[in-house]
């Protein structure tokens, strides 16, 4: 493949059983425009056909038993080689992440390095996945052993196209699964390139495939009877659609969905520290991340709330909006002009409800200025709904308990934060009471490979990363051995 987004927009097909398959004659072609420059065509993609979906599933089912039968060290060696090969193609992958998704070049560089780390991490854990034995008296022994799901479907998002996909692929391959990837139709190129990397690293042709297309392709794929597990990163509505589709065959699912993540600011927290932590997190990926801290809960009076809000606004106002390819840019575009228009409508609607807005100045195209909503109503949409942009709502609470109750009074439960001002013991107590899969104290949004990540409620179920992320791709079998004397 090895084509550049800087030249004339290339045409991509599918990756099936280790081969790049060109688009079918007369088939549907998707076009991807640059988020930073909506008039610029970045790439074109053929849509996977039903025949190609069947071919990918059949190949995965056929090849997987041999892969699962390999010694874990052999699977680990392949992942290690993939990590080294990914490093060699890092510049190419970064270019595509910037061109397709509008990700800042500095962020794309960081995530490319992180993808290498994920592969190395699960290469190590491949050799650590084990069962256990359970003595059951003098003549009986129980054994619990892990068995991989045969065919896994990985449904990836557009905000972090490659890294979120590798979160799924690396542990699944380490566990002994086959994987068919269906990346977002907005950002599929890095997934196609990574499949080339896997084949070159020694993954058996057929063990992995990449299918490109919209919801119709994903729906057709996950309803195949041979699919044993579906892993999705996406929004709440997509999660509901996937569950409806997988219910037909009772296919297990892992879901990392959206969030409306709160940060509780305790009375002694320094306003400058608060602004740095929250401002950086809100601006990260232009707010297009499921853990964006979009609810700031200030313990104190309205004067304290305004001080914190203005400090965050000052931090966000220092950002430089512009071309994501420029090293001077610190705030890039959102994924599309349509999404930017939806975000601009949020500000317009909030103003009609007489909500004070800091920032949010109008700008053209797929760019939006960060905004802070000073909403008093605890049920206002800026407080309850995931907006998926560089927006946050700041509210005041009389005490910690009322803030905790409000933080937990949501259908989401992916992430939360606490800025404690030195009260670490109090912060730990609060963290235990928050209904969230991850809680940060005096920090926010750092992802550690060693720790599991996932949510509760409408933020999904199942876990990625950590040993738990590896165990998500296996089923546990109990074996009962009677080794007593025959009678």
Check whether residue 465 and residue 364 sit in a common domain: no
CA distance 474 to 487: 37
156, 235 contact by CB (below 8 A): no
SS3 label, residue 174: helix
Number of domains in the chain: 2
Give the residues across from 17 on adjacent strands. none
312, 282 contact by CB (below 8 A): yes
**Which residues, other chains included, contact 251 with Cβ-Cβ below 8 Å and sequence gap of 6+?**
222, 227, 228, 229, 230
Check whether residue 266 and residue 212 sit in a common domain: no
What pLDDT was estimated at residue 486? 53
**2 located within any domain:** no
Check whether residue 108 and residue 29 sit in a common domain: yes
> Domain of 241: which CATH number?
3.40.605.10
Check whether residue 158 and residue 95 sit in a common domain: yes
- Give the residue numbers annotated as catalytic, written as ranges: 168, 256, 290, 464
DSSP 175-194: HT-EEEEE--TTS-HHHHHH
Query: Which tokens sit at 355?
Result: 């909500």
Mean pLDDT in each 10-residue stretch from start to end of the chain (487 residues)? 61 98 95 95 97 98 98 98 98 98 98 98 97 96 98 98 98 98 98 98 98 98 98 97 97 97 98 98 98 98 98 98 97 97 97 97 95 96 97 98 97 98 96 98 97 98 98 98 76
Which one-letter DSSP state was computed for residue 1? -
**351 located within any domain:** yes
Check whether residue 296 and residue 431 sit in a common domain: yes
Check whether residue 49 and residue 122 sit in a common domain: yes
227, 57 contact by CB (below 8 A): yes
**109 located within any domain:** yes
> Domain of 374: which CATH number?
3.40.309.10
Check whether residue 238 and residue 348 sit in a common domain: no
What pLDDT was estimated at residue 8? 73
**3 located within any domain:** no
Check whether residue 117 and residue 188 sit in a common domain: yes
**484 located within any domain:** no
What pLDDT was estimated at residue 484? 84
Check whether residue 168 and residue 309 sit in a common domain: no
Check whether residue 356 and residue 422 sit in a common domain: yes
What pLDDT was estimated at residue 445? 97
CA distance 385 to 411: 10
What pLDDT was estimated at residue 485? 62
What pLDDT was estimated at residue 6? 47
**485 located within any domain:** no
**360 located within any domain:** yes
First to last CA, the chain: 66
Q: Longest Cα pair distance anywhere in the chain, in angstroms?
A: 85
Check whether residue 354 and residue 464 sit in a common domain: no
Torsion on CA atoms 251, 256, 259, 264, rounded to nearest 10: 130
Q: Which domain holds residue 368?
A: 262-448
DSSP 69-111: HS-HHHHHHHHHHHHHHHHHTHHHHHHHHHHHH---HHHHHHH
CA distance 59 to 36: 38
59, 16 contact by CB (below 8 A): yes
Residue found by looking up tokens 């780390």 in the block: 117
**486 located within any domain:** no
Question: pTM of the prediction?
Answer: 0.96
Check whether residue 240 and residue 293 sit in a common domain: no
3-class secondary structure per residue, 213-271: CCHHHHHHHHCCCCCCEEEEECCHHHHHHHHHHHCCCCCCEEEECCCCCEEEECCCCCH
Bridge-based pairing of strands 140-148 and 19-21 is unpaired
């Amino acid at each position: 493949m090895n084509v550049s987004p800087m030249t004339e927009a290339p045409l991509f097909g599918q990756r099936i059983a280790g081969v790049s398959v060109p688009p079918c004659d007369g088939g549907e072609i998707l076009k991807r425009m640059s988020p930073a420059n909506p008039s610029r065509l970045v790439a074109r993609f053929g849509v996977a056909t039903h025949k190609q979906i069947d071919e990918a599933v059949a190949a995965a089912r056929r090849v997987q038993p041999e892969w699962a039968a390999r010694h874990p060290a052999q699977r680990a060696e392949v992942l290690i080689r993939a990590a080294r090969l990914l490093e060699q193609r890092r510049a190419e992958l970064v270019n595509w992440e910037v061109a397709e998704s509008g990700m800042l070049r500095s962020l794309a560089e960081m995530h490319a390095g992180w993808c290498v780390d994920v592969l190395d991490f699960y290469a190590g854990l491949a050799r650590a996945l084990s069962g256990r034995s359970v003595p059951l008296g003098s003549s009986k022994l129980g054994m619990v052993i892990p068995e991989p799901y045969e065919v896994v479907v990985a449904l990836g998002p557009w905000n972090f196209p490659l890294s979120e996909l590798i979160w799924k692929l690396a542990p699944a391959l380490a566990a002994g699964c086959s994987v068919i990837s269906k990346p977002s139709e907005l950002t599929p190129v890095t997934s196609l390139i990574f499949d080339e990397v896997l084949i070159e690293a020694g993954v058996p042709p057929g063990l992995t495939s990449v299918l490109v297309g919209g919801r119709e392709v994903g729906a057709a794929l996950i309803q195949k009877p041979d699919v044993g597990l579906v892993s999705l990163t996406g929004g709440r509505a997509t999660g509901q659609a996937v569950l409806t589709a997988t219910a037909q065959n009772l296919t297990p699912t892992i879901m990392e969905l959206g969030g409306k993540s709160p940060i509780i600011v305790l009375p002694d927290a320094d306003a400058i520290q608060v602004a740095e932590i929250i401002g950086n997190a809100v601006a990260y990926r232009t707010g297009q991340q499921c853990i964006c801290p979009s609810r700031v809960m200030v313990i104190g009076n309205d004067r304290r709330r305004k001080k914190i809000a203005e400090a965050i606004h000052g931090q966000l106002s220092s950002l430089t909006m512009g071309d994501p390819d420029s090293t001077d840019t610190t705030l890039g575009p959102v994924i599309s002009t349509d999404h930017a228009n939806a975000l601009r409508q949020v500000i317009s609607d909030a103003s009609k409800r007489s909500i004070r807005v800091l920032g949010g100045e109008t700008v053209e195209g797929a760019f939006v200025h960060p905004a802070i909503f000073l909403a008093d109503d605890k049920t206002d949409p800026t407080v309850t709904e995931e907006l998926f942009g560089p927006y946050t709502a700041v509210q005041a609470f009389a005490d910690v308990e009322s803030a905790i109750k409000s933080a937990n009074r949501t259908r989401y439960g992916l992430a939360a934060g606490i800025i404690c001002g030195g009260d670490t013991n109090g912060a730990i107590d609060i963290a235990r009471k928050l209904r969230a899969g991850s809680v940060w104290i005096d920090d926010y949004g750092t992802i550690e490979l060693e720790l599991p990540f996932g949510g509760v409620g409408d933020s999904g179920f199942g876990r990625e990363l950590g040993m738990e992320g590896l165990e998500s791709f296996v089923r546990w079998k109990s074996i009962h051995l009677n080794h007593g004397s025959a009678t």
